């Protein structure tokens, strides 16, 4: 933290020198290069702007691909149904943030016959309580508990006014452990591994707007591994614990990098001290990402690009470069051009466009631009 405070005020160079240090000619644009900008664009739905009498019917239609929803007996559609639903598509997994008033829900056998959606989903209640029945076995959901349920089996239930986070994962993602998951359908995940999974998902939710396309497959894989670890029999817990420890350490390392991008002394040594690991362990962690130094530079370049393309950021290019740890304007220009395919000056007018995280062909993009489309294309 002391090092970070010391590096907050970069020395400013005379304007004339700044202009001479930067190339006047635009760098050739590399058509094959694509920005490593934020990969996710949320799909938001809300009834809040609708007339109260129209809110519930609209929510029913939105949830129809998954479940049929009904109001409690003491409620009328005219009372209103203020609800919102924000979905994030990570390609192999959907993350949904949802708030809804009290209601009941059913995924009937008839709906299953008319639907090809058979994903698994994990529910993380934040507020409220729910009761869901599968084959006469009821699972109670409440804050602090994780529920796992299959959309390939009929179920029904009810919930109080609640906020929840849902993870939707394709059945094929767990093809090698299908029997284990089927045996745990409509059950609660508890214990240390479930707590680790909650912490991990919370950290991912906090960073959804800054994730890059290269992050997404690793996040899906790590989530899958943690879910399997939660369901593993005791004999396999030692191996699962070791794997989860690696996942948790990598997430800590990434958060440390993200929180210290503007620190001049962000180095492998400082990371080792902060994380309490050896250099060899740190290098092992970042080997799939091209090495720890490569990862740090890529994140700094991405942060610099976002700042450059932000109309509200009036800093000069050299100030932005220095703010993210580049002491030489020439080095920053070369690294930026190599990373994005154009110069920092061009980056001023080049917005970091969201890259699609969907496993959807261009022809199917329009169809997949709805929650139902995302559900149907998940994992394809």
For residue range 185-226, what is the model confidence (pLDDT) as tens digits?
999 888 888 888 899 999 999 999 888 888 899 899 989 988
Give the three-class secondary structure for 4.
helix
Q: What is the pLDDT of residue 365?
A: 37
In the β-sheet with 120-127, what is the strand arrangement from edge to edge? 43-46, 84-89, 94-100, 162-169, 120-127, 146-150, 187-189
Q: What is the pLDDT of residue 370?
A: 87
Q: What is the pLDDT of residue 142?
A: 92
Mean pLDDT of all residues belonging to the chain: 81
Distance (Å, whole) CA 262 – CA 270? 14
Average pLDDT over residues 272-281: 90
**Higher-confidence position of 106 and 4:** 106
Q: Which residue bears the tokens 């739905």?
A: 45
What's the pLDDT tens digit per position in 230-265? 887 655 445 555 555 666 777 788 878 888 888 878
- 354, 209 contact by CB (below 8 A): no
Tell me the pLDDT band of 6, cut-offs 50, 70 and 90. Answer: very low
Query: Each residue of 253-269: b (16+ CB within 10 Å) or e?
Result: bbeebeebbbbbebeee
Tell me the pLDDT band of 149, cut-offs 50, 70 and 90. Answer: very high
- 196, 226 contact by CB (below 8 A): yes
pLDDT at residue 292 greater than cutoff 70:
yes
> Which residues, listed in sequence order, are joined to residue 137 by a DSSP beta bridge?
134
pTM of the model: 0.62
pLDDT at residue 375 greater than cutoff 70:
yes
- 178, 171 contact by CB (below 8 A): yes
Q: For residue 356, give every residue at least 6 positions away whose Cβ sits within 8 Å of its Cβ, in sequence order, or none.
A: 39, 365
Q: What is the pLDDT of residue 241?
A: 55
What's the pLDDT tens digit per position in 171-182? 889 888 888 888
Q: For residue 116, give every residue at least 6 positions away whose Cβ sits within 8 Å of its Cβ, in sequence order, or none.
A: 376
Which range is most confident: 37-41, 86-90, 261-265, 355-359?
86-90
Q: What is the pLDDT of residue 238?
A: 52
Distance (Å, whole) CA 314 – CA 319? 10
Q: What is the CATH number of domain 42-231?
A: 2.60.120.10
- 281, 242 contact by CB (below 8 A): no
Which range is most confident: 20-29, 36-45, 75-84, 111-120?
75-84
Q: What is the pLDDT of residue 230?
A: 84
**Higher-confidence position of 150 and 237:** 150
pLDDT at residue 4 greater than cutoff 50:
no
**Higher-confidence position of 355 and 69:** 69
Q: How many CA atoms lie within 13 A of 104 on its CB side?
A: 12
Q: What is the pLDDT of residue 229?
A: 84
Q: How many CA atoms lie within 13 A of 2 on its CB side?
A: 0
Tell me the pLDDT band of 50, cut-offs 50, 70 and 90. Answer: very high
Q: Can you give the three-state secondary structure of 171-238, one letter per residue?
A: HHHHHHHHHHHHHCCCEEECCHHHHHHHHHHHHHHHCHHHCECCHHHHHHHHHHHHHHHHHCCHHHHH
In the β-sheet with 68-70, what is the strand arrangement from edge to edge? 68-70, 103-107, 155-159, 130-134, 137-141
Which range is most confident: 6-15, 151-160, 301-310, 339-348?
151-160
Q: What is the pLDDT of residue 84?
A: 97
Per-domain residue ranges of the chain = 42-231, 240-349
Tell me the pLDDT band of 165, cut-offs 50, 70 and 90. Answer: very high
Q: Is the dihedral of CA 295, 301, 304, 308 positive or negative?
A: negative
Residues in the chain: 380
Q: What is the pLDDT of residue 352?
A: 52
CA distances to 4, 240, 325 from 13, rounded to whole Å, are 21, 53, 15
What's the pLDDT tens digit per position in 74-119? 999 999 999 999 999 999 999 999 999 999 999 998 888 877 789 9
Distance (Å, whole) CA 213 – CA 231? 29
Q: What is the CATH number of domain 240-349?
A: 1.10.10.60
């Amino acid at each position: 933290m002391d090092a970070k405070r010391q590096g907050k005020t970069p020395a400013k160079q005379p304007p004339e020198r700044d202009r001479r240090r930067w190339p006047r000619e635009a760098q050739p644009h590399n058509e094959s290069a694509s920005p490593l900008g934020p990969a996710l664009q949320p799909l938001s739905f809300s009834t809040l702007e609708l007339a109260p009498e129209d809110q519930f019917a609209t929510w029913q239609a939105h949830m129809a691909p998954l479940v049929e929803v009904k109001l409690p007996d003491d409620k009328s559609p005219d009372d209103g149904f203020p609800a919102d639903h924000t979905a994030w598509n990570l390609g192999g997994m959907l993350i949904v943030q949802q708030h809804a008033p009290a209601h009941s829900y059913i995924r009937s056998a008839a709906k299953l016959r008319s639907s090809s959606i058979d994903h698994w989903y994990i529910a993380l209640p934040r507020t409220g309580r729910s009761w869901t029945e599968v084959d006469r076995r009821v699972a109670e959901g409440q804050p602090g508990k994780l529920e796992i349920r299959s959309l390939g089996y009929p179920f029904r239930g009810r919930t109080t006014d609640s906020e929840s986070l849902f993870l939707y994962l394709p059945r094929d993602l767990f093809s090698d452990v299908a029997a284990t998951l089927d045996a745990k359908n409509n059950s609660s995940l508890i214990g240390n591994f479930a707590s680790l999974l909650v912490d991990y998902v919370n950290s991912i939710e906090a960073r959804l707007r800054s994730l890059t396309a290269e992050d997404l497959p690793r996040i899906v894989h790590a989530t899958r591994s943690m879910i399997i670890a939660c369901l593993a029999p005791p004999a396999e817990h030692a191996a699962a614990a070791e794997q989860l420890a690696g996942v948790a350490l990598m997430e800590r390392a990434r958060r440390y990098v993200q929180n210290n991008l503007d620190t001049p002394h962000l180095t492998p040594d400082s990371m080792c001290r902060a994380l309490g690991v050896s250099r060899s362990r740190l290098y092992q962690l970042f080997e799939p990402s091209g090495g720890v130094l490569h990862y740090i530079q890529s994140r700094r370049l991405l942060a610099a690009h976002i700042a450059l393309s932000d109309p509200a950021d009036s800093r000069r290019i050299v100030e932005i470069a220095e703010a993210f740890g580049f002491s030489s304007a020439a080095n920053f220009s070369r690294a930026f051009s190599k990373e994005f395919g154009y110069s920092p000056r061009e980056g001023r007018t080049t917005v970091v466009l969201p890259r699609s995280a969907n496993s959807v062909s261009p022809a199917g993009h329009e169809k997949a631009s709805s929650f139902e489309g995302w559900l149907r294309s998940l994992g394809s």
